[in-house]
Structure 1
Amino acid sequence: MEHGDLVRAATAAVAFAVMLAGHYIGDHWVQTSGQAYGKGLDRVGCVRKVAVWQCTKHVMSWTATTTLFLLAAAWWLRLPLQPGWLVAGIALNAVTHFAADLRTPLIRLGRLLGRGGYLDHVGVVRPSGPANSGPGTGLFELDQAWHIGWLAVSALLIAGPPV
């Protein structure tokens, strides 16, 4: 393995690790209750324009959080980030997060790929309310798996092209 390949591998590993940390902070600490509840197009009584706006606000703060984690680590470790690849990775992350957090695209994809039973039957018993998408549900688990998978692809992009 060449020196440049090792640097890219370390950059990708660091990018993934710190963005994963930023992902959890952004999704569970920074996101407001209004965003969490209002962003899904699958919600009964959903007004599409409102859901898209709530999702947009969430993805903007979430992207800022993951980017802050990434840039802090890059500064601390002096990672050789290339601006174009950095922007491409962050943009891919934001777009895929937005699509999943509207919920309907993720639900449709899950059903198309044969995960309907998982979506319908994995879940904890909850009192009435927004119980279809939170922790302990199949949708939440598929959502998190989707995000983490795209975080990995984004980290590889951020590391730059093969040398």
Structure 2
Amino acid sequence: MHDDDLIRAITAAVAFGVMLAGHYIGDHWVQTSGQAYGKGLDNHGCVRSAAMWHCAKHVASWTATTTVFLLAAAWWLRLPLKPGWVVAGILLNALTHFIADLRVPLIRLGRLLGRTGYIETVAVVRPAGATSTGPGTALFELDQAWHIGWLAVSALLIAGPPA
């Protein structure tokens, strides 16, 4: 392994780790309750434009959070980030997050890949009754897996191409 490859590997690992931390902060601390509920196209009585707006606001604040984590770590560790690759990784992350958080595309993909039973049976009972979204549900777990997978791809992009 050449020094440049090692630096890229370290950059990708750091980018993934700090963006994963930013992901959880952005998804569970920064996101408002209105955004969390309002962003799903699968909600009863959903108004598409309102859902898209809630989702866009969430993804904007979530992207800002993950970007701050990334840039703070890059500054602290003096990582050799190249702006074009950082922008590409952040945009990929934002786009894939937006798609999944509308829920309907994720549900359709899950069904296409044979996850229908999982999606329909793994639910939780909350004080207001059974729900199929939110922590503890199959849709939530598929959502988080999707996000973390794309975080990994984004981290590789951010590290830049092989020399």
Match of 1:51 in 2: 51
Structure 1 segment 1-163 matched on structure 2, within 5 A: 1-128=1-128, 131-163=131-163
What are the ranges of 5 or more consecutive residues in structure 1 without an aligned counterpart?
none
Tell me if the contact between 2:31 and 2:58 (Cα under 8 Å) persists in the aligned partners: yes
Tell me the distance in 2 between the aligned counterparts of 1:158 and 1:63: 14
Tell me if the contact between 1:31 and 1:58 (Cα under 8 Å) persists in the aligned partners: yes
How far does residue 129 in structure 1 lie from its aligned partner after superposition? 6.4
Secondary structure (helix, strand or coil) at the match of 1:142 reads helix
* Corresponding letter in the other structure for 1:102: L
The total of aligned residue pairs comes to 163
Tell me the distance in 1 between the aligned counterparts of 2:26 and 2:124: 24
Q: TM-score, normalised by structure 1?
A: 0.98
Tell me the distance in 1 between the aligned counterparts of 2:56 and 2:139: 20
* Corresponding letter in the other structure for 2:33: S
Tell me the distance in 2 between the aligned counterparts of 1:41 and 1:60: 18
Q: TM-score, normalised by structure 2?
A: 0.98
Secondary structure (helix, strand or coil) at the match of 1:93 reads helix
Change in 2 beyond 3 A, CA 1:101/1:18: same
How far does residue 131 in structure 1 lie from its aligned partner after superposition? 2.5
CA RMSD in angstroms, aligned pairs only: 1.0
Indicate the percent of aligned positions where both proteins have the same amino acid. 80
How far does residue 133 in structure 1 lie from its aligned partner after superposition? 1.1
- Deviation string, structure 1 residues 3-55 (Cα, Å, up to 9, x no partner): 00000000000000000000000000000000000000000000000000000
Tell me which stretches of 4 or more aligned residues in structure 1 moved more than 6 Å.
Answer: none
Secondary structure (helix, strand or coil) at the match of 1:51 reads helix
How far does residue 130 in structure 1 lie from its aligned partner after superposition? 8.5
Tell me the distance in 2 between the aligned counterparts of 1:130 and 1:151: 31
Secondary structure (helix, strand or coil) at the match of 1:125 reads strand
Tell me if the contact between 1:37 and 1:130 (Cα under 8 Å) persists in the aligned partners: no
